[in-house]
Amino acid sequence: MKNNIIYFEDLGLTDYQDAFKRQTELFEKTKQIKIDNKQLIKPHITDNYLLFTEHPHVYTLGKSGKMEHLLLSESEMLAKQVQFIPTNRGGDITYHGPGQIVAYPIIDLDNFDLEIISYMRTLEEIIIKTIAEFGLKGMRSEGETGVWLDVGKPQARKICAMGVKTSRWVTMHGLALNVDVDLDYFKHIIPCGIRHKGVTSLQAELQEKIDKNEVKNLILKHFEAAFDAKIKKASLR
């Protein structure tokens, strides 16, 4: 039996490592249920989760990332009050900070008949439809995960980065949509290891103040539609 309910919590501003610990707990719990189910005649249903958060300034490096894509020394990072944390997601280096909506789905893909590639395309579609509500045409860029503007043009720029980890078809990590984030922090890395392409935000594109709660509600709406799911608010601590 498949479960299309997704339990949701907005964690607010959360230290990256604290959010990572919370994700990992839910991820490992779900994985263990799937492992145990192999021994059961009547398997238990797995739950699905979605966490929203913002992080204090932090650079994170994925498993395939390169240290040379970080352009600051340790002392320079200390002066800018930005952390550096290697992590276990896919992808290269990225930045998280205030003004960025970070979404961490901990999803059993078997509940939604999705494979990893189709899951990533679904996440991209959610953001494409979300920013379309603000009049922006989000696009995919071949070979480059995430959501972009003006693909194929010299001014191509990324508005949403993505990186995930999966095990036994359970996901963690996710996406980061730039709303009104300080884009200067991206100047000190080679974002996602991609040279000569820019990074942007909703505020930079629209040149007006953006209501983050409105953006969050739109993401949730499109998340429900894309996954054919029911999102329920819950305390997941």
- Structural domains of the chain, count: 1
Domain encompassing residue 47: 5-233
Q: Are 20 and 87 in contact (CB under 8 A)?
A: yes
Low-confidence winner among 55-69, 83-97, 118-132, 183-197 (lowest mean pLDDT): 183-197
Separation between Cα atoms, residue 178 and residue 137, nearest integer Å: 15
Is residue 76 pLDDT above 90, yes or no? no
101, 120, 192, 219: the catalytic one is 192
Q: What confidence score (pLDDT) does residue 193 get?
A: 65
Summarize pLDDT for 152-182 with one digit per residue, the tens.
999 999 999 999 999 999 999 999 999 999 9
Is residue 192 pLDDT above 80, yes or no? no
Of residues 44 and 5, more confidence is placed in 5
Mean pLDDT value across the chain = 93
DSSP, residue by residue, 88-151: SSSSSEEEE-TTEEEEEEE-BGGGGT--HHHHHHHHHHHHHHHHHTTT---EEETTEEEEEEST
Is residue 194 pLDDT above 70, yes or no? no
Average pLDDT over residues 132-144: 94
Predicted model pTM: 0.93
Residue 67's pLDDT band (boundaries 50, 70, 90)? confident
DSSP, residue by residue, 63-92: TT--GGGB-S-HHHHHHTT-EEEE-SSSSS
Is residue 191 pLDDT above 80, yes or no? no
- CATH number of the structural domain spanning residue 224: 3.30.930.10
Tell me if residue 160 is catalytic: no
Q: What confidence score (pLDDT) does residue 62 get?
A: 86
Low-confidence winner among 19-28, 30-39, 192-201 (lowest mean pLDDT): 192-201
Q: What confidence score (pLDDT) does residue 43 get?
A: 77
